[in-house]
Structure 1
Amino acid sequence: MCGITGIVGQQATAEKLAAMLRAQKHRGPDATGEFVDSQTTALGHNRLSIIDLSECANQPFTDYSGRYVMVFNGEIYNYLELRDELRDRYDFVTQSDTEVLLAAWTIFGKQMLPKLNGMFALAIWDKETQSLFAARDRFGVKPFNYTVKDGNLYFSSEIKAIHAAGIPALPDEKVWASYLVYGDYGQPDETFWKDIKQLPGGFWLEWQQGNLKTGQWYDFVAEVKKQPQNLSYEASKSHYVALLKDSIALRFRADVPVGFNISGGLDSSVLLAMVNDFAHGHSHINAYTFYTGNPDYDELPWVEMMIAHTENPLQKVLLQPDEISALAENISFHEDEPFGGIPTLAYAKLFQRARRDGVKVLLDGQGMDEQWAGYDYYVKSDDVTIQGVAGSPYKPEVLSEAFFRLAEKPVYPKPFDDDMRNKQYRDLFYTKIPRALRFNDRVSMAYGTELREPFLDYRLVEFAFSRPVDFKIRDGVRKWLLRDLAAEYLSDALVFAPKRPLQTPQREWLANDLKPFVDICLGKIAQSPAGSWFDRDRLQKAWQQYQDGDQASSFHVWQWVSVALCV
């Protein structure tokens, strides 16, 4: 887990590269590396050492022929298996997954990508052909942002690094308008900043002599259709459990301590059970959870109930309202774009605590709801994408008419023949998972920690996605098969605990404890370039209505805060 950056073209200078590396140094506090071929290419790397902690594994990494130079962010979990496959065809000099990845490129080229089980964003410079190849993992766990300016390609893990190279930080008003009107965080290739794109998950990029090409290397729909269709319920459960255990075992590969994040939900319960099953009963693996001291929202009672069975050391991290202002400013710097409100701030504190404890890798339970149909709106006939909110969570009426007209309602593909799987597909590639992965990558890297999501192993997602509806929902109970396998490890109180869509008192805090903070944010908007986006009177009226009790949702208030923090 690291940060990568680069420039290809006549602007590829050591000075610009150094500025880009400084901007995202928090991603890799253990080492900084540079490769500069003036006016041709400059590649940089901020390293967080996880596998093979020696200097031999530092990047940029050059293959033994000297032809290829690579920078890589992420982890290749099946690198040991790939290393065995390549052993007779490549002379390895390190124990790193980095070298295995570059070796696979020298032998297989682009065809190496389907062989990889991991999270990654990589860029490989070919000195012979003077070309750059880049790629991103299947679900876009690791970021890859890029822009083309005056015939030069700039890329980085974080947007601020591109701005540090001299690219102007101009808001993309269409993306911002769509966010404020529809809650859309952008299409898979968009960012909130003008002329800066992201490479979508499962895509590759090629750059040669000023020409840019992108293409898709991972076709999720095709892979789902290849899954076995006639397996019984019990056979499906057995196969899924085997995949799940293997996924967790792969994600325990690290040369540093590993812990995990836990909430009171079913997914975390399964993760806890499987982690301890993998660890053969040892209970020394740290678990991290947050709470706010508000019993209406805190999941701490369920977490403590789970931990009572396994006796893992539980690190309880308290978030209080007087921390929010400073924490929001700090995390906004790291996020570069709007993020998910106070729950994201609470989540950030887990990584801060883990790093202080010397734990550099954390596992998380992201991805189960999307593959096993865990959200209530999967069985409804509307286009809702937020659980637990009655009515619209947005307030487009506070926008100026000219800005409102810039918004585009997102339209999502529907590649499957049933409505539920199309909603799952939307959440997996366009809404829930992409934004959660972005939020989580930024907050984990803010504190120099690595986050791994075993439930997003592509084998698990493809297989679960292809299962019949009655494996996912039975008698009105969602995530049925997952609850069934969890029952082998957990009590019924945990297996059938209701899903709680809200984990912090964000609604109440914004109206009360954080009222001065929101007032300051609205004042900043008025003095910023975003001031013209709003009708000031209607904005103040909506804010007053919120304080007076119109709190069915707090999402629109956090949107305003996001504008103030980012623009």
Structure 2
Amino acid sequence: MPGLYGVIAPDLEIKNQADSMKEMLKSEWSEIDEQWVDQSTGVGLGRIDLGIFQTDVQPIIKKSRIIFLIGEIVNQDELQAKVSKNSSETPISVNEIILILYEQIGFKVFELLNGSFAIAIWEIDQKKLVLACGYAGLRPLFYSISGNRFCFSSEIKALLALNWTPRKVDNRAVIDLLGFGLPQGEITLFNNILRLPAGMILVYQKGKLEIREGFMVRFNPQPSSLTEEEHIKNASYLLEKSLLARFKSGAKMGLTLSGGMDTRVLLAACSHLNLRVPTFTYGQKGSRDKERAKKLSNLVDYPHYSFTLKGNYIKENAAAVLDRCEGRVDCFLSHGLFLQQMRDWVDVMMLGNGGEYLFSSVSDYYSKSTDIIPNQPYETYYHFRNTFFKEEVWPKLFTENIQKIQDYPRQKLFDLLKFYDPINADQAIDAYWFNTVQMNRTLQGLYLINHVLEFSEPYFDRDLILYATSLPIQYRRDRLIQKALLEKYNKSMAYIEGGHLYNESHFQKFVQKSARRVKVRLVRYKLLDKKFIARPSSTFSDLHALTRHSPNRKWIESILLNQTAMLYEFVKPDYVKNLVQQHMNAETNFTKQINTLMTLELFLQQYF
């Protein structure tokens, strides 16, 4: 993928080390390959890039500091104005602007940057490395330390290219993955390889590592005398500002359109601003995502491209998902790989992630689906999150070495919640949901395309994040702001299926039910094909059926029912066998559980 990499190893031939990392980041779409090496101090840094956003030559070297940058910075004019106000220098690139501001205000410069980015700054005289990534952590950095050696990269595989980086499974990540669907916080499935959390700053100097809090996203509602209409007006201004800034790059933009609220609002806003953009949707045959997206695009007369996923895409894409995501993404959630094909049409894919995270509260969801434990909000949320293998089955599922750490997930969750907000539990839960759960869901899609396409996330605009997280809680309930924005930009979209104003009449429901009864009888007497009574399809709900159909079923059974499977170091074979049989016989829906088991086993096979 486009990414940064670096290694500090004074006792090794540093050029060879840096080159080993570089080769792991390259792809056939890479346009930029830049590197800086200093053998005298044992430091090597570099970047691989698609050459779409950051096209200026790097590194920039200024006053004994060098900088490498990847990603999208959308407020260069604002940054330039700050430099001009306090300095006589006239920088020619955003990299130079950042270095000048870094000299003036230090780490606070990272708070000024608007966009998705990752930055490495090496202070030559101080022999100090500084790493940072944007508010939402959309361009993550991973790192490892071993003795007097340190390495970092945008992908784990570049760290593994160094033969001194240990390969060992982190048992904490295993119990997190199987219980909650993802490792919590900074850990990965690799022991001793960690992720720099979003909004945090890493400093490595003379063998010492320090993680400092920089610009972490927290929810801090402020008292406000503004009316609902005024809040909607402010949100509208910031969303439009975000979109206009992203179209300034001049790159060919496309919009993924699922038909859900987030992308629906973006399409309506683009139309309102007269920002022409092709839309792209994928799904299986009969997908309601495709049907809704087509209606929405036709409504504003935007070019729309719809593509069909094959029934075996889970099996066919699994290896590519593991290669791209290194165990950080469920191997079944591979449909996003399809967007790679859009490179023939666009350079940058605009996505609708983030709207739901910012303009709703997690309590809207878990209070409806979880038994509330009085006066124990953390415990209530813990059970809401534990939706994969439930805690009560862990003694039957996990082997003894995993059972020894079964208290870890609860303690880690509670520690993170207290870190985000030690006083207000609801705000702590919203911050955890945003920074950990939802960010990982967003990254699931980005990992699959960012080695081919650049991406842009209008909802994860810095100013929009700061505004949304300061809103009084009543304006984040039930996505009130987004619904109002959709009605402002194009109310007709709200009446299309999936919109909040869509409502079938009693007569329409009666006609549909009656027609279905007739079709079911015709199928029963073999006068009509079964496909005519198939339920509406959507990308995520399709997974339940796909896992039970060949060739996916045979593939899953051949892996999980194999007595020599590597995951049986962590889970008990008999329990897994019974679970797979119950799922395949449609006795119970264990799609999520099978997904995590397959992810773990395929990860172990590929990396160990």
Q: Same fold (TM over 0.5)?
A: yes
Q: Residue 362 in 1 paired to residue 381 in 2?
A: no
Q: Residue 188 in 1 paired to residue 188 in 2?
A: no
1:177-215 CA-to-partner distances (Å, cap 9, x unmatched) read 2221x2152232211110011111111111111111110
Report deviation, 1:386.
Answer: 7.3
Q: Secondary structure in 1 aligned to 2:305? A: strand
8 Å Cα contact 2:330-2:596 kept in structure 1: no
Taking the aligned partners of 1:428 and 1:270, their CA distance within structure 2 comes to 20
Report deviation, 1:519.
Answer: 2.0
Report deviation, 1:480.
Answer: 1.9
Equivalent in the alignment of 1:123:
120
Taking the aligned partners of 1:559 and 1:498, their CA distance within structure 2 comes to 35
Matched to 1:319, the amino acid is L
Taking the aligned partners of 1:416 and 1:110, their CA distance within structure 2 comes to 25
Matched ranges for 1:131-210 at <5 A: 131-166=128-163, 167-180=165-178, 182-210=179-207
8 Å Cα contact 2:141-2:196 kept in structure 1: yes
Equivalent in the alignment of 2:474:
470
Equivalent in the alignment of 1:443:
448
Taking the aligned partners of 2:113 and 2:33, their CA distance within structure 1 comes to 25
8 Å Cα contact 1:521-1:560 kept in structure 2: no
Taking the aligned partners of 1:457 and 1:353, their CA distance within structure 2 comes to 26
8 Å Cα contact 1:265-1:497 kept in structure 2: no
Matched to 1:356, the amino acid is D
Q: Secondary structure in 1 aligned to 2:119? A: strand
Q: 1:418 to 1:538 in 2, by over 3 A?
A: same
Report deviation, 1:69.
Answer: 1.6
1:366-390 CA-to-partner distances (Å, cap 9, x unmatched) read 1122222276524433437879989
Report deviation, 1:332.
Answer: 1.0
Equivalent in the alignment of 2:545:
508
Q: 1:155 to 1:256 in 2, by over 3 A?
A: same
1:477-511 CA-to-partner distances (Å, cap 9, x unmatched) read x2122212211213232431689996341111111
Taking the aligned partners of 2:586 and 2:191, their CA distance within structure 1 comes to 37
8 Å Cα contact 1:393-1:555 kept in structure 2: no
Taking the aligned partners of 2:46 and 2:253, their CA distance within structure 1 comes to 27
Equivalent in the alignment of 2:52:
50
Equivalent in the alignment of 2:297:
307
Matched ranges for 1:174-323 at <5 A: 174-180=172-178, 182-221=179-218, 224-225=220-221, 227=222, 229-278=224-273, 280=274, 283=276, 285-295=277-287, 298-323=288-313
Q: 1:202 to 1:501 in 2, by over 3 A?
A: farther
Matched to 2:549, the amino acid is N
8 Å Cα contact 2:117-2:134 kept in structure 1: yes
Q: Residue 558 in 1 paired to residue 548 in 2?
A: no
Q: Residue 331 in 1 paired to residue 321 in 2?
A: yes
Taking the aligned partners of 2:322 and 2:474, their CA distance within structure 1 comes to 42
Q: Secondary structure in 2 aligned to 1:299? A: helix
Taking the aligned partners of 1:395 and 1:501, their CA distance within structure 2 comes to 30
8 Å Cα contact 1:155-1:162 kept in structure 2: yes
Equivalent in the alignment of 1:40:
42
Q: 1:100 to 1:458 in 2, by over 3 A?
A: same
8 Å Cα contact 1:393-1:553 kept in structure 2: no
Report deviation, 1:308.
Answer: 1.2
Taking the aligned partners of 2:88 and 2:6, their CA distance within structure 1 comes to 27
Matched to 1:460, the amino acid is L
Q: 1:356 to 1:251 in 2, by over 3 A?
A: same
Q: Max radius of gyration: which structure?
A: 2
Q: Residue 484 in 1 paired to residue 490 in 2?
A: no
Matched ranges for 1:539-558 at <5 A: 539-558=576-595
1:12-44 CA-to-partner distances (Å, cap 9, x unmatched) read 611111111111113970011111111421001
More helix by share: 2
8 Å Cα contact 2:2-2:26 kept in structure 1: no
TM-score (norm 1): 0.88
Report deviation, 1:307.
Answer: 0.6
Taking the aligned partners of 1:28 and 1:114, their CA distance within structure 2 comes to 31
1:307-363 CA-to-partner distances (Å, cap 9, x unmatched) read 111222112122112233231101211101241453x3112211x122132x12111
User: Which of 48, 73, 78 lines up with 2:75 in the alignment?
Assistant: 78
Taking the aligned partners of 2:124 and 2:553, their CA distance within structure 1 comes to 56
User: Which of 358, 373, 383 lines up with 2:360 in the alignment?
Assistant: 373
User: Which of 330, 338, 346 lines up with 2:335 in the alignment?
Assistant: 346
1:291-315 CA-to-partner distances (Å, cap 9, x unmatched) read 11144xx311211121111222112
Taking the aligned partners of 2:99 and 2:448, their CA distance within structure 1 comes to 28
Taking the aligned partners of 1:134 and 1:160, their CA distance within structure 2 comes to 19
Taking the aligned partners of 1:155 and 1:101, their CA distance within structure 2 comes to 21
TM-score (norm 2): 0.83
Taking the aligned partners of 1:387 and 1:263, their CA distance within structure 2 comes to 25
Matched ranges for 1:393-412 at <5 A: 396=394, 397-407=396-406, 408-410=408-410, 411-412=413-414
Equivalent in the alignment of 2:2:
2
Taking the aligned partners of 1:68 and 1:559, their CA distance within structure 2 comes to 44
Segments of 5+ residues of structure 1 without an aligned counterpart are none
Matched to 1:188, the amino acid is G
Taking the aligned partners of 1:147 and 1:483, their CA distance within structure 2 comes to 44
Taking the aligned partners of 1:293 and 1:323, their CA distance within structure 2 comes to 13
1:427-476 CA-to-partner distances (Å, cap 9, x unmatched) read 1012122x123313311223x21122111223223322333343333xxx
Segments of 5+ residues of structure 2 without an aligned counterpart are 373-379, 504-536
8 Å Cα contact 1:371-1:424 kept in structure 2: no
Matched to 1:516, the amino acid is K
Taking the aligned partners of 1:132 and 1:387, their CA distance within structure 2 comes to 36
8 Å Cα contact 1:188-1:199 kept in structure 2: no
Q: Secondary structure in 1 aligned to 2:334? A: helix
Q: Secondary structure in 2 aligned to 1:75? A: strand
Taking the aligned partners of 1:132 and 1:294, their CA distance within structure 2 comes to 52
Equivalent in the alignment of 1:24:
25
Matched to 1:148, the amino acid is I
Question: How many correspondences in the alignment?
Answer: 543
Q: Residue 519 in 1 paired to residue 518 in 2?
A: no
Q: CA RMSD in A?
A: 2.9
Taking the aligned partners of 1:498 and 1:179, their CA distance within structure 2 comes to 37
